[in-house]
Structure 1
Amino acid sequence: MVPHIARRTLFAAPAILLAGCNTVVMNPSGDIAAQQGHLIVVSTLLMLLIIVPVIALTILFAWRYRKNNKTAKYEPDWDHSTQLELVIWGAPLLIIIALGLLTWISTHTLDPYRPLSRLDAARPIPAGAKPLVVEVVALDWKWLFIYPELGIATVNELAAPVDVPIRFKITASTVMNSFFIPALAGQIYAMPGMETPLNAVINRPGEFEGFSANYSGAGFSDMRFKFHGMSAENFERWVQATKAGGGTLARSDYVQLEKPSVREAVRRFGTVDADLYHAIVNRCVDPKQACMDKIMMTDTNVKAGSAPQHHE
């Protein structure tokens, strides 16, 4: 009786342990993340078409040709079967072709630079729909979100209306980081001096976890924020509350905010310097510093002006 109970416990243990896992990646609330989850499932099933038979045949052969099985046919001189070779090489080749085609299509469809073409599998983007622009800055060790069209900003809090396309513009202040909201879309890197776009949409209201998925120093593990999917009415109320109760985020305020800190509380800013994000990307928050885009433009103009002249 005891061995029987032990065997049941052994088989049930993995299910009990997995029951506590957060499977948000496989059950997301945003269309991009849903397509990525579907890609994981299909790819896994295609690979299992080879993995499962190989494991089953390994066990079968080990059992059938065990030492004390005297009925197994012994053929020491056998070395080739055309039919078996076709199966061994043909099946994996077909699966690799299928995976390659699936990956090629998905790579273009889920390109983070590509504007969205649908809200979900059943609904296209409405004609004339305007995306919500959010500028994301990875700081040490917190997240700054700027809504340039709304004139507000937040620290460690992000909100967006349901079924409205979101266009993120992502950068970092010091070191490379990674922006990741599993319920919304896959992770994407944030790099200083560069801007990385991400297009996504949230399809269900709720509170979702966002965090840094790339080690960036001592406070990395606490670099988390809440993403709120809201109805249009609730999002508008959130915007108005932020404008009414938030402070001011000027360049001098950003310089203080940029200093390393851990477990930063949610902060809201009702007004933001209109050129702050541009200055962050181009490394010129300090007015004494020249912006990278202007430096590069000057270099380009100098090189163009010094190019050798050709005369007929």
Structure 2
Amino acid sequence: MKVLKYIKLFVALFAVIPVLLLTGCETNMVVFEPQGPVARSIMELINWSLMWMLLVVVVVFAMFGFIVWKYRERKENMNYEPPEEHGNTLFEIIWTAIPILIVIALIIPTVKTLYALEEVPEGYENEEPLTVHVTAADWKWIFSYPEQGIETVNYVNIPEDRPVNFKLTSAGTMQSFWVPALAGQKYAMAKMETQLILVAENPGSYVGKNSNFNGRGYTGMEFEVLAQTQQDFNQWIADVKNTAPVLTEEKYEEMLKPTHLGRLTFKNTHLAWVNHADEDAQTYTNPELYRYNGYQGKTFEEEDNYMNENSETESGDHHHEENHDDHGNHGGDDHGQH
């Protein structure tokens, strides 16, 4: 009877753990609150997988409890020795076929979803996508708008209800670009280009991050995706053109060093002199700056340089006099819903 008691306790704990996890992480379950068709497709695929996993868990634990109870030791079978078994062909076929069918049920929608995510979402095929080049660097994200001729650091503004084609690359180490509320993650790698297409159905502020571990500074490598109405987006473009400073090649190379930055905005792009997706592009890794444990450089504290025209912006202080453990303010304000 003690064995049965422990089995019941174990099954009860197993049933409670998922509930505790879901309630404890309720405010952070962004993937289950999609704000666009791409994220919704991913959520539906996750839910489909969870359904099958739950079915397997329930059946396995039910069979486990039944078998332990049915074949438990009792007074009337204390000295029972089961005969040698050579297996049951029918049962072996069944328990081999069931996992194969489950894998097929998971593979088909997964493959269909993965291929669909490489195209403009259904219903937006006639919309002209906005192209944004994304360059990852330690530990910041650089967004270039080639058609508008502007560049931002650690934030990207996009119009709502319009496809956005992010062309991803890296100036050095590999990063992972992820906006949980709008799309899945894609890797950004030097000297090659990957593509991620998303649509934000509603105006709002959504958090983006690097989900690939690449050094101590990656935890602060976040950015904001601000979805705006087309009118607000056009106004933002005009404001940047009128107020933002010009990005120089020297300034850009300084930005690529391993530092945390706040928001920066420029009325031109680095694509004029380098595209890190090109096979022959220079790689900016600055290995000598990683020799000091956890070096992160100086944090730029201004909210946005094009809104602070009279302030002098610094992108990093590369003296190695001390190791800073304070992660404090590593970027611009990130407000609104995520």
Length-normalised TM-score, structure 1: 0.76
How far off is 1:237 after superposition? 1.9
The equivalent of 1:85 in structure 2 is: 92
| Unmatched tracts of structure 2, length 5 or more | 1-11, 285-338
How far off is 1:75 after superposition? 8.1
Give the AA of the match of 1:33: A
The equivalent of 2:144 in structure 1 is: 146
Give the AA of the match of 1:104: V
- 1:272 aligns with one of 266, 269, 273: 269
Q: Counterparts in 2 of 1:50-129, with a 5 A limit?
A: 50-68=56-74, 70=76, 76-77=82-83, 79=85, 80-110=87-117, 114-118=118-122, 124-125=123-124, 127=126, 129=127
Query: CA deviation digits over 1:221-263, x for unaligned, max 9?
Result: 111111111111221222222222211113222112112212x
Give the AA of the match of 1:197: Q
Contact 2:37 2:121 survives alignment (8 Å): no
How far off is 1:126 after superposition? 5.2
Give the AA of the match of 1:59: G
Give the AA of the match of 2:92: E
- 1:18 and 1:126, CA in 2 relative to 1: closer, same or farther beyond 3 A? same
Q: Counterparts in 2 of 1:219-298, with a 5 A limit?
A: 219-262=217-260, 264-273=261-270, 275-278=272-275, 281=278, 282-284=280-282
- 1:84 and 1:242, CA in 2 relative to 1: closer, same or farther beyond 3 A? same
The equivalent of 2:40 in structure 1 is: 34
- 1:26 and 1:75, CA in 2 relative to 1: closer, same or farther beyond 3 A? farther
The equivalent of 2:313 in structure 1 is: none
Contact 1:171 1:191 survives alignment (8 Å): yes
SS of the residue 1:150 aligns to = coil
- The CA distance in 1 between the partners of 2:203 and 2:104, in whole Å, is 39
- 1:70 and 1:92, CA in 2 relative to 1: closer, same or farther beyond 3 A? farther
How far off is 1:85 after superposition? 3.1
How far off is 1:78 after superposition? 6.9
- 1:30 and 1:276, CA in 2 relative to 1: closer, same or farther beyond 3 A? farther
Give the AA of the match of 1:125: Y
- The CA distance in 1 between the partners of 2:150 and 2:72, in whole Å, is 72
The equivalent of 1:194 in structure 2 is: 192
Identity of aligned residues (%): 33
- The CA distance in 2 between the partners of 1:117 and 1:34, in whole Å, is 11
- 2:55 aligns with one of 36, 43, 49: 49
SS of the residue 1:247 aligns to = coil
| Unmatched tracts of structure 1, length 5 or more | 1-6, 119-123, 287-312
- The CA distance in 2 between the partners of 1:70 and 1:241, in whole Å, is 87
Length-normalised TM-score, structure 2: 0.71
- 1:82 and 1:193, CA in 2 relative to 1: closer, same or farther beyond 3 A? closer
Contact 1:47 1:95 survives alignment (8 Å): no
How far off is 1:271 after superposition? 2.7
Contact 1:181 1:210 survives alignment (8 Å): yes
| CA-atom RMSD in angstroms | 2.9
Give the AA of the match of 2:56: I
